[in-house]
Amino acid sequence: MNRKIKAVVLAAGKSKRMKSDRSKVVHKILGKEIINYILDSLSETGIKDEDIIVVVGDNKKEVESVVGRKVNYVVQKEQLGTAHALMAAEDHLHDFDGDLLVTVGDNPYITSVEFQKMIRYNSENGLKCTLLSALFPSEPPPYGRIIRDINGKVGAIIEAPDADEEQIKIKEVNAGIYVFDNMTVFPLLKDISSNNEKKEFYLTDIIFILKSEGHLPDAVITENYFAAIGINNRLELAEAQAKFNRDNIRDLSEKSGVTILQPETVTIEYGVEIGKDTIIFPSTYIGSGTKIGSDCRIGPFAYIRNIVIGDGEEVSHQKLTG
């Protein structure tokens, strides 16, 4: 990355649909908080912790307690929309001459691959704004629809509550992730109004404003539509847990030489290390912080967390935690 870059993570949202007293961004997927998936991806993109700004609300202490990084925090005192949230970071951004990556805080699927692709596309094409979009094979989630003009260029984003019958049928949606030229975009945030169904200041409106100013925003369509999915309720949390677990099991099987019997009954959390020729038997849960050697027999009916198991050992019908 040649230009200077900062990132803003929008993490002030409430957890109404989670039915939880805890902020949704601190809920865990396979032992790792949602927000930490995003921060790890930003780090892998090459963005330093001191160049990351996390926008929080009443959940500030809660978020700080799970983020083991020296990032910057700003408080959005009222939750009045995504543009309003970004403006809360004004002290850090008002004179920053570089690229600004803005991402939602509730998306554990986004990776450095998508971030880097967006940054590169924005730079190579001399754009002031590149957003990430996704094409869903069936009915998309209730996200903003990408409205393209007759030339196929991004013309606007219409949030789902404000979309008409035809617009809501569009399957290309906004992922809520942007790369901006900060000196162009940040001053324009003040032109965003709350004249919409939810009476909020939508960051998506910046697309229309940029177009009216003579700029041509564009979209990078992710190859994996999951990269656009945020976690808003317990069902989506469970679906993410299941998908990440399948990925973990596949990687351990294909790359580490681990045999996992009846994998649909086995859960392996983030950061677990297992040696080759180990067999994991059904109905086994292996938690974060666990290291298992080679040629072990684990399970059935075992719960293991944060312990070290040496080569050739056997554990079954036990609960072991460190």
CA distances from 299 to 23, 172, 267 (A): 34, 44, 12
> Does the structure show a pLDDT above 70 at 289?
yes
Q: What is the pLDDT of residues 169-188, one digit of tens each?
A: 999 999 999 999 999 999 99
Q: What is the pLDDT of residues 239-248, one digit of tens each?
A: 999 999 999 9
CA distances from 54 to 26, 72, 183, 204 (A): 13, 6, 20, 19
**Structural domain boundaries of the chain?**
5-228, 234-321
Strand 145-148 with 154-158, pairing: antiparallel
Q: How far apart are the first and last CA of the chain?
A: 41
pLDDT of residue 69: 94
Q: What is the pLDDT of residues 88-100, one digit of tens each?
A: 999 999 999 999 9
What does the alpha-carbon distance between residue 217 and residue 299 come to, in Å, rounded to a whole number?
Answer: 54
pLDDT of residue 96: 96
Q: How much is the pTM?
A: 0.93
pLDDT of residue 306: 96
3-class state of residue 40 by DSSP: helix
Q: Which of 223, 23, 270, 228 is nearest to 108 (CA)?
A: 228
Yes or no: say if 289 and 305 are a contact pair by the CB < 8 Å rule.
yes
> Does the structure show a pLDDT above 90 at 320?
no
Distance from chain centroid for Cα 238: 15
Instruction: Please compute the mean of the pLDDT values over residues 268-278 and round it to a whole number.
Output: 97
pLDDT of residue 198: 87
User: pLDDT confidence of 13, banded at 50, 70, 90?
Assistant: confident
Instruction: Please compute the mean of the pLDDT values over residues 281-294 and round it to a whole number.
Output: 97
The CATH architecture to which 234-321 belongs is 3 Solenoid (2.160)
Query: What kind of fold does domain 5-228 have according to CATH?
Result: Spore Coat Polysaccharide Biosynthesis Protein SpsA; Chain A (3.90.550)
pLDDT of residue 173: 96
pLDDT of residue 50: 97
